[in-house]
Amino acid sequence: MYGRTLVGIVIVALLAACAESPTPLESETETTTAPVESIEWKLVMSWPKNLPGLATSAERLAQRISDMSNKRLVVKVYGAGEYVGAFQVFDAVSSGTAEMGHAAAYYWRGKAPIFAVFGTVPFGMTAQETNSWLYYGGGLELWREAYAPFNLIPFPAGNSGVQMAGWFNKEINSLADIQGLKMRIPGLGGDVFQRAGGVAVQLPGNELYTSLQTGVIDATEWVGPYNDLAFGLHDIAKYYYYPGWQEPNAVLELMVNKEAYAALPSDLQHIVEVAARATNQDALDEFTARNMASLSTMMAEHGVELRRLPDDVLATYREHARDVLDELATVDDLSARVVASYKAFQATVSDWHDLAEEAYFDVRQPAPAP
Ligand code: CA
């Protein structure tokens, strides 16, 4: 089948590109001492193995842990469906079936609705702002509190940056065009889409191509050009819309089983933490580096047509997004505290970024001629 073959070719090409990941500095003296003891852990993912940006981040994370620990802690990585299904990662790590998982927190909001905020918030903060909230604004402490009853310790471990709004086979010119439209769109963005008249469908990434091809869904969002090219979505959808209002960043999470983590000596715990933090930055750097080239390929070689969502559609989504977040704050005490913390941080960092990033973007290039 042409589509499948092309997907295969694209994945192979992207895997070749992935091999060009940053080369670590060579140490002058190799440490080849045999490890005193070797602990073996399983890491289960919500992504297919080798998927650029997502799975490769988890795979590099595992490699970093192994390298930094001189193989005292070795992590074997399983793609979605290899050990547990894409949407079983949370339960698998919670129960100790696997010691680690790599996924996105909004997949688990059936456990507690507030988890969605630790994945992304529609019209919320960017990757840079979210990382600031998590590491320096109390966000990570709240996330750990939220996951504690489930026997899990979360770590930020990758970020997509601002995503694309998704793939459509018809143009979206007004709200009328999304009425009844079945779109794969997870998390709070799905709630917003639903309120605006669409039908939000939850599907893992590896089911998108077939679901869109066979009409199970009419449209889908996934991540951004670098990641979407690997799934071949350009084969089966014509219009690629921006901006990614539904995911202005997506935190990829490393979750670790609490008892397994507690049983590690403190230096290995520190290695896990530092490897996660390195991976968190590395993934964002890679997406930022590769997205535009992937988009150019889609447009030049696959006839993808780029479209911007109309302002009135975005304005409606923005209103619903505010309501969705306010309602989430009423679920329980923790939800109230998480939403309050998130909103306060976003307000402050927005004030700063008006003067910094946004003001700078405005002056970086001359305004277009009137
Ligand atoms: Ca997405």
Using the mean position of ligand 1's atoms as its centre, give its distance from the Cα of residue 223 in Å. 4
pLDDT value at residue 174: 97
What pLDDT band is residue 366 in, cutting at 50, 70 and 90?
confident
What pLDDT digit, counting tens, does each position of 109-141 carry? Answer: 999 999 999 999 999 999 999 999 999 999 999
Using the mean position of ligand 1's atoms as its centre, give its distance from the Cα of residue 274 in Å. 26
Whether the Cβ atoms of residue 245 and residue 122 lie closer than 8 Å to each other: yes
Least confident interval from 35-49, 54-68, 211-225: 35-49
Sequence-distant (≥ 6) Cβ neighbours of residue 290 within 8 angstroms: 17, 52, 53, 225, 226
Q: What is the mean pLDDT of residues 132-155?
A: 98
Q: What is the mean pLDDT of residues 31-55?
A: 86
Using the mean position of ligand 1's atoms as its centre, give its distance from the Cα of residue 270 in Å. 30
Using the mean position of ligand 1's atoms as its centre, give its distance from the Cα of residue 261 in Å. 29
What is the residue-averaged pLDDT of the chain? 92
Using the mean position of ligand 1's atoms as its centre, give its distance from the Cα of residue 222 in Å. 4
Using the mean position of ligand 1's atoms as its centre, give its distance from the Cα of residue 28 in Å. 42
Q: Look up residue 99 and give its DSSP letter.
A: S
What pLDDT band is residue 29 in, cutting at 50, 70 and 90?
low
Q: Look up residue 220 and give its DSSP letter.
A: E
Residue 8 has pLDDT above 50, yes or no: no
pLDDT value at residue 35: 55
Using the mean position of ligand 1's atoms as its centre, give its distance from the Cα of residue 87 in Å. 15
Contacts 24+ apart (CB under 8 A), 137-141: 137/341, 137/345, 138/341, 138/345, 139/341, 139/342, 139/345
Using the mean position of ligand 1's atoms as its centre, give its distance from the Cα of residue 159 in Å. 11
Q: What is the mean pLDDT of residues 50-77?
A: 97
pLDDT value at residue 23: 59
DSSP assignment of 167-191 equals: EESS---SGGGGTT-EEE--HHHHH
What pLDDT band is residue 12 in, cutting at 50, 70 and 90?
very low
Least confident interval from 20-29, 200-209, 298-307: 20-29
Residue 11 has pLDDT above 70, yes or no: no
Q: What are phi and psi of 238, to 5 degrees?
A: -95, -40
CA pair distance 53, 65, nearest whole angstrom? 18
Residue 96 has pLDDT above 90, yes or no: yes
Using the mean position of ligand 1's atoms as its centre, give its distance from the Cα of residue 121 in Å. 11
Residue 6 has pLDDT above 60, yes or no: no
Using the mean position of ligand 1's atoms as its centre, give its distance from the Cα of residue 8 in Å. 22
What pLDDT digit, counting tens, does each position of 271-289 carry? Answer: 999 999 999 999 999 999 9
Residue 27 has pLDDT above 80, yes or no: no
Using the mean position of ligand 1's atoms as its centre, give its distance from the Cα of residue 108 in Å. 15
Using the mean position of ligand 1's atoms as its centre, give its distance from the Cα of residue 365 in Å. 29
User: How many CA atoms, within 13 angstroms, populate the side-chain half-sphere of residue 151?
Assistant: 15
Using the mean position of ligand 1's atoms as its centre, give its distance from the Cα of residue 120 in Å. 9
Q: What is the mean pLDDT of residues 320-339?
A: 98
Whether the Cβ atoms of residue 296 and residue 234 lie closer than 8 Å to each other: no
pLDDT exceeding 70 applies to what percent of the chain?
90
Using the mean position of ligand 1's atoms as its centre, give its distance from the Cα of residue 269 in Å. 30
Using the mean position of ligand 1's atoms as its centre, give its distance from the Cα of residue 100 in Å. 22
Using the mean position of ligand 1's atoms as its centre, give its distance from the Cα of residue 52 in Å. 14
pLDDT value at residue 349: 98
Q: What is the mean pLDDT of residues 235-250?
A: 97
**What's the pTM value of the predicted model, to 2 decimals?**
0.90
Using the mean position of ligand 1's atoms as its centre, give its distance from the Cα of residue 311 in Å. 20
Whether the Cβ atoms of residue 158 and residue 223 lie closer than 8 Å to each other: no
Using the mean position of ligand 1's atoms as its centre, give its distance from the Cα of residue 227 in Å. 10
What pLDDT band is residue 297 in, cutting at 50, 70 and 90?
very high
